[in-house]
Amino acid sequence: MFDAVIIGLGPAGSTLARLLAGKYNVLCLDKKVAEGGFEKPCGGLLAPDAQKILARFDLTLPKSVLVDPQLFAVRTQDLSSGLTRYYQRFYVNMNRAKFDRWLISLIPASVPVYAGAKVIKITRDESGFFTVLFERNGKRKTVQARRVIGADGAASFVRRTFFPKHKIRSYATVQQWFKETHKSPCYSCVFDEDKSDCYSWSVSKDGYFIFGGAFPVQNCRARF
């Protein structure tokens, strides 16, 4: 019996696990594989608010997480109007998978972390306790907890289980990496009403040019 089971070890889940360590009996379940990480479709930029939170915890980013170049402006393009503007933004350009693994490495050893654990089912009995069924290394196991914390992202299994009527707007994210060929790397934000009511982005990282976007699920690859 655990006080809490945290599902998902992105920045939110791993930070919470670190803060609860020593105060509660906590178990962490994360479907990413510890060694390989998870190459998430993500620009991999650390925003100023996130930088402030790290500073509040007296944390500094290791050099291994950072990538070149460090960019201080966003080129915003509105294809419908044909306008282009530059906005100063102090983002930190980083490798998102390495950033996640670094945060996980800060969780004290007293907190068990099960990497590669895929949650299959969560139930709650009349007394309010939760039973979590998960699969890891080809085997299924169950644990019990007083609380279940869903830090498992936009497609949260926890939210779908306990709040099925709470629908959120969904997009499919598609991203592709290309070898960098131009001499003026930049971070751009692109709006195109014909393709998506969200946006697309590009960013340069260690000799690669990355283009991605968030699109309506239907025909998302064609829109990309």
pLDDT tens per residue across all 224 residues of the chain? 999 999 999 999 999 999 999 999 999 999 987 666 566 767 789 999 999 999 999 999 999 999 999 988 999 999 999 999 999 989 999 999 899 999 999 999 999 999 999 999 999 999 999 999 999 999 999 999 999 999 998 889 999 999 988 888 889 999 999 998 777 888 999 999 999 999 999 999 999 999 999 999 999 999 99
The structural domains of the chain, with segments of one domain joined by +, span 1-44+95-168, 51-94+170-224
* Topology given in CATH for the domain delimited by 1-44+95-168: FAD/NAD(P)-binding domain (3.50.50)
Nearest CA-CA partner of 10 in 107, 89, 75, 92:
107
CATH of domain 51-94+170-224: 3.30.9.100
Question: Sign of the C-alpha dihedral, residues 10, 12, 18, 22?
Answer: negative
Q: How far is CA 33 from CA 37, 125, 142, 158, in A?
A: 5, 31, 19, 20
